[in-house]
Amino acid sequence: MDPELSEIFMNRISLVIIFFSCIGISIVTGDTDQQNVILISWDGISRDTLEYLIDSGNLEHLSGILENGSFVNISITDHFPDTLSGHAQILTGYSPEISGVFKSMRYKEIPEGYTVFERLKEFAGDDGISTVIIASQERSLGPLKGLPFYHAGKVVDYYYDQNSDAGLLGTVVSEALYHFAQKGRFFMFVHFRDAADAGYAFGAGTKKQEDSIQSIDASLGEILKTIQKAGIMEKTAIYITTDHGFNTGQKDYTGQANLWLVANEPGLNMNGDQKDIALTILKKFQVPYENITPHYPGEPLI
């Protein structure tokens, strides 16, 4: 790393260490035999745009994951493709009729207990697993009363939902990883908004959006480096997906249902539905999802 960038990064880490110390949270690293899962949403990136950037060699870190991992064609089959409805399905496994989240202008609180975070806490207990949300957009994933993830906010161990660019968010994720690496099992959800913002402003597949996706990939590299340093790479499943896409060359996502998921483990199904992602996480943590009601309509990707 460039010495100047290294100094900036270390200054950021030092500030957060001071912050965590003030609120009674220590940052530790080391070994654990327990499985962890990190689910990352690259908001607003269509499958064709992502495949073009991979094929052209512009996504170094995502391509590195794919070398020994899986690429899954993900479809949306039962809801309007946008940020709120997409993340609600990714993090519950349910259709809008059950989650109550139909689109960004039509939603209510997800029923208590229905999110992946709550399912994991119910199964493993407060001491059995840590759950984390780190989101770069205040309203869509915030824990305020009336928002979809209000009930999830009651159980999540660490919640960050501030408007942040990819560079800042990557640092926040790394800081959280340093802390949770030794607390036992953890499930961490991360949301990058940069590509969606560029899509709305300039159009999908434009140079501006491609640049924003590359900045997200750079932050992914920072996250992967932290996972490696913490000694948990071999026991951490990493899933990277998107909530919705855009119609290429446009600022519109109506009807854009062709999405994707990249994983650092081989053998995942080649095709799946967005509702399958939540079940994949539950299966990784050995949660008996078959016995949960309401019944899940999807299938795990593993």
Average pLDDT over residues 262-269: 97
Question: Is residue 121 domain-resident?
Answer: yes
Question: Is residue 147 domain-resident?
Answer: yes
| Residues 112, 158, 237: CA angle, nearest 5 degrees | 90
Q: Which of 114-123, 219-228, 238-247 has the lowest mean pLDDT?
A: 238-247
Residue 285 has pLDDT above 90, yes or no: yes
* Domain carrying residue 193: 37-76+115-268
Average pLDDT over residues 193-207: 90
Q: What is the pLDDT of residue 257?
A: 79
Handedness of CA 241, 101, 272, 206 (dihedral sign): negative
Mean pLDDT taken over the chain: 87
Question: Is residue 240 domain-resident?
Answer: yes
Are the beta carbons of 65 and 238 closer than 8 angstroms? yes
Question: Is residue 224 domain-resident?
Answer: yes
Q: What is the pLDDT of residue 23?
A: 32
Average pLDDT over residues 237-266: 81
Average pLDDT over residues 151-165: 95
Neighbours of 57 (CB within 10 A): 8
Residue 17 — very low, low, confident or very high, per pLDDT cuts 50/70/90?
very low
Q: Which of 44-58, 234-248, 249-263 has the lowest mean pLDDT?
A: 249-263
Average pLDDT over residues 156-180: 96
Question: Is residue 154 domain-resident?
Answer: yes
| Residues 67, 191, 204: CA angle, nearest 5 degrees | 75
Residue 250 has pLDDT above 70, yes or no: no
Are the beta carbons of 243 and 44 closer than 8 angstroms? yes
CATH of the domain at 165: 3.40.720.10
Are the beta carbons of 258 and 46 closer than 8 angstroms? yes
In total, how many domains does the chain have? 1
Average pLDDT over residues 164-190: 96
Q: Are strands 258-263 and 236-241 parallel, antiparallel or unpaired?
A: antiparallel
pLDDT tens across 60-80, in order? 999 999 999 999 999 999 999
pLDDT tens across 80-97, in order? 999 999 999 999 999 999
DSSP labels, 133-174:
EEES-TTTT---TTSTTTTGGGT-SEEEE----HHHHHHHHH
pTM score of the predicted model: 0.87
Handedness of CA 75, 81, 85, 87 (dihedral sign): positive
Q: Which of 21-30, 139-148, 162-171, 249-258 has the lowest mean pLDDT?
A: 21-30
Residues of the chain with pLDDT > 90: what percent?
76
Nearest CA among 88, 72, 43, 98 for reference residue 299: 72
Question: Is residue 29 domain-resident?
Answer: no
Residue 14 has pLDDT above 50, yes or no: no
Q: What is the pLDDT of residue 32?
A: 36
Question: Is residue 21 domain-resident?
Answer: no
Q: What is the pLDDT of residue 220?
A: 98
Show the tokens assigned to 185.
């099992």
Nearest CA among 122, 146, 142 for reference residue 134: 142
Question: Is residue 98 domain-resident?
Answer: no
Residue 10 has pLDDT above 60, yes or no: no
Edge to edge, the sheet with strand 271-273 lists 158-161, 130-135, 186-192, 36-42, 236-241, 258-263, 70-75, 271-273
pLDDT tens across 266-282, in order? 999 999 999 999 999 99
Q: What is the pLDDT of residue 34?
A: 66
Are the beta carbons of 83 and 280 closer than 8 angstroms? no
Q: Which is more confident, 146 or 9?
A: 146
